[in-house]
Structure 1
Amino acid sequence: MNNHLTALTTGALAFVLSASAATADTWRYAHEEAASEVQGVFAQKFKEEIEANSEHTLQLFPFGTLGESADIMEQAQSGILQFVNQSPGFTGALIPEAQVFFVPYLLPQDEATLQEFFTNSKAIKEMFPALYAEQGLELLTMYPEGEVCMTTQEPVKSPADLAGVKFRVMTNPLLVESYSAFGATPTPLPWGEVYGALQTGIIQGQENPRFYLDSTKMYEVTDVITCIGHNNFTTAAMANKDFYDGLSDADKTVIANATDAAFEYILGYQSELGKTSFDNILAAKPEMEINILSEAEREPFKATAGPVEAAYIEMTGDTGEAILTQMKADLKAAEVATQ
């Protein structure tokens, strides 16, 4: 009798274990940066939370391991990847409304206001998810990566200084509009080609967050950094929509909690990283010229924001205009909340 019960118990245990193993999947997550950069750190925190609170394993693929940004987006949409992290700078060609994050001088310079906006924005939480869903994507969150600055070969004090400068931009129509308005000759290039293009003189400038100028050693192939206060780099974490919709409620909760934890962590991380980046650059290249333009010097650049905003509305129609209006309301609310 005892042997019979033992056999039944062993069989039941084996069934439970096999059922558990059947629900323990390996999920794949690709992003646009190195493992040590902001998207990589976000992904690692997300992975830690997923693996600590479920039986699932998360496999991470940093920039270059699965191709360029366009490649990993295609893989996410097709279901080869379960998760992807990509900037609206690249997603803008797929979801034109996402280009709103590249309207110059829309996002604030104040870090507290910026973080409040990303935490509570109705545009991000209520309007963008449907647009991403149309492209087979579940929008998990958007978050900032830091102030965007230019690197060039010569000093930039006004739009006139960008005249004739072949300036690399992401494959984003609104960025082309923006740098045309700044006076440059915008040149869309995949990120993997930028360092070499600067080195050989094919282009003479590019923009990126402070930390990225440091980590990718852009100072080795340019001589001047200029911050005009025009933007803060935004990125988005997404899941394949079919994959996400097929998950259990428990797994969706695990993903939501992991997203929240990674979001909260990265807000502080990217803020501190931005503060130390220029010190690192100057330590590596003391002769690097770093210019933070004054409010007066920024005015000619700010004057271009209106036409670029109008171009955004023309590209995106009523939906884009509604998102822009809501974002401005969200930003005003964030400013009030942090006063």
Structure 2
Amino acid sequence: MKMKGKALLTIVSTVMAAGVVLAGCGGTQSGTGTPAAGGAAKTEEKKATYTFRLAETHPPDYPTTMGDKKFAELVGQKTNGRIKIDVFPSAQLGEEKAVIEQVQLGAIEFTRVSSGPLAEFNKALGVFSLPYIFDNEQHEWKFLQSADGTKLLDGLSASKMIGLAYYDSGARHFYSRKPLNSIADVKGQKIRVIQNKVNIDLISALGASATPMPYGDVFSSLQTGVIDAAENNWPSYDTSNHYQVAKTIILDGHQRVPEVLMVSKVTWDKLSDEDKKAIKDAAAESVSYQREQWKAFEKKSEDKVRAAGVTVVEVKDLKPWQDAVKPVIDKYRGEFKEQLDAIDKARK
């Protein structure tokens, strides 16, 4: 009898251990049983639960962060709370380039980043840095929401990231401590740019001096005269307080660089098809909300800057600007021919 008891105990222990191992695979499990005929219970496969992190560089009330939060909310709704995404704004998890590298490794699951730095990881996205390739917002979004725009997002999978959606970031303009009444005033100025070849070539084509530096250094560099000017969209010009030291902005709209919402391929490959669909659908649905938030914030920023006494110069004729940077387009046309042809097609 003692031997039988020990054998029974061993079998029970083995079964329990196996159950623990299985339950530990794929996150915490949850589910409901379905009664079978004859009163016996047939248990459905339990669905995994997850808690993920989404890294965001902008403040909590910034339009991209608001888009992130809407996306997270929609994912929660579509999965009945099984998938929870916590948004970490204000670069709590690191600046964009460092976060992209962490997403590649799967150490951070989701992020929203500019397509600018993403070009270092997926060359084709560098097309967005080229100047004046979009006529206006409508042209830009017609391309982004086309099959060709989706193809660019899908290309991120080769870099261990899955592009989920584009977010709005408006148009970028030049602003300066010095007068900026026309393209002639840009010449000779020291202008801060994002560190990439296209931006440096753009500034050179305008007769100015490109000065790459981290975004966080721009305010003090403008204040002390290390640089004369910088370029960005209305919300960034406002929230960075650059308008307090660079009191002239010229609305040339030289670039429209979209944001990208994405997930680590390491994380993606662990998800069920059902969960992948829920996440993709949530991302697509969050875009219209993010764009609404962008428009409202952009208007608020412009009103605030104008009220502060900043000189705002409208550009009535873009042709001199476009002619000046044509050599930049020509230089990179071979490299981005497929993307530029698709952008031209979206113009029709």
Report the TM range for the smaller structure's normalisation: 0.7 to 0.9
1: distance between equivalents of 2:267 and 2:232? 32
Q: Helix, strand or coil: the match of 1:329?
A: helix
Distance in 1 (alpha carbons) for counterparts of 2:142 and 2:296: 17
Question: Does 2:142 align with 1:116?
Answer: yes
Inter-partner Cα distance in structure 1 for 2:63 and 2:191: 24
Deviation at 1:33, TM superposition (A): 1.6
Partner residue in 2 for 1:28: 53
- 1:284-315 Cα shifts (integer Å, max 9, x gaps): x22x11111111xx32211133211122235x
Residue 145 of structure 1 deviates from its aligned partner by 1.4
Deviates more, 1:92-101 or 1:73-82: 92-101
Q: Which AA in structure 2 matches 1:65?
A: Q
> Which residue identity does 1:20 align to in structure 2?
S
One-letter identity of the residue aligned with 1:126: K
Q: What aligned pairs does 1:160-309 form with structure 2 within 5 A after superposition?
A: 160-283=184-307, 285-286=308-309, 288-295=310-317, 298-309=318-329
Q: How many residues align?
A: 306
The answer for the alignment partner of 1:310 in structure 2 is: 330
Which residue in 1 is equivalent to 2:3? none
- Partner of residue 120, structure 2: 93
Q: Is the 8 A contact 1:198 1:221 kept in 2?
A: yes
Kindly indicate which of the two structures has a greater share of residues assigned to helix: 1
Rounded to whole Å, the distance in 2 between the matches of 1:32 and 1:309 is 30
**Sequence identity of aligned pairs in percent?**
26
CA gap of 1:156–1:234, structure 2 versus 1, over 3 A, is: same
Confirm or deny that 1:51 pairs with 2:76: yes
Deviations 1:305-333 (A, max 9, x none): 3211122235x3xxx2112111211232x
TM-score, reference length from structure 1: 0.84
**Which moves more between the two structures, 96-105 or 250-259?**
96-105
What per-residue deviation string (whole Å, max 9, x for no partner) do you get for residues 110-140 of structure 1?
Answer: x444433333x2221124412x112111111
Mapped pair 1:19 → 2:45:
no
Distance 1:19 1:114, change over 3 A: same
SS in 1 for 2:49: coil
Q: Does residue 1:40 correspond to 2:65, yes or no? A: yes
Mean alpha-carbon deviation: is it higher for 273-282 or for 215-224? 273-282
Which structure carries more relative contact order (alpha carbon 8 Å, separation 6+)? 1
In structure 2, C-alpha distance between the alignment counterparts of 1:95 and 1:116, rounded to whole Å: 22
Q: Is the 8 A contact 1:93 1:173 kept in 2?
A: no
Unaligned runs of 5+ in 2: 1-22, 32-46
Deviates more, 1:62-71 or 1:245-254: 62-71
Give the deviation of 1:81 after TM superposition: 0.9
Distance 1:128 1:262, change over 3 A: closer
CA distance in 2, matches of 1:201, 1:48: 44
Aligned AA (1:26): T
Q: Distance in 2 between matches of 1:95 and 1:89?
A: 10
Runs of 4 or more, structure 1, over 4 Å off, are none
Contact kept in structure 2, 1:117 and 1:330, CA below 8 Å: yes
- Say which SS state the counterpart of residue 300 (structure 2) adopts: helix
Larger radius of gyration: 2
Letter of the 1:19 counterpart: Q
> How many Å separate the matches in 2 of 1:309 and 1:234?
19
1:129 to 150, 154, 159: 154
SS at 1:154 equivalent: coil
Matched, 1:321 2:345: no
- What is the alpha-carbon distance in structure 2 between the residues aligned to residue 205 and residue 197 of structure 1? 9
Aligned counterpart, 2:41? none
Distance 1:201 1:302 in 2: 28
- CA-to-partner distance for each residue in 1:80-137, whole Å, 9 max, x for gaps? 111111112111222222121122111122x444433333x2221124412x112111
Q: Which amino acid aligns with 2:143?
A: F
Letter in 1 for 2:288: E
Which runs of 5 or more structure 1 residues have no equivalent in the other structure?
1-14, 333-339
Deviates more, 1:247-256 or 1:162-171: 162-171
1:39-96 Cα deviation digits (max 9, x unpaired) = 1111111111112222121121223312222111111111111111111211122222
**Mapped partners of 1:86, 1:47: distance in 2:** 16
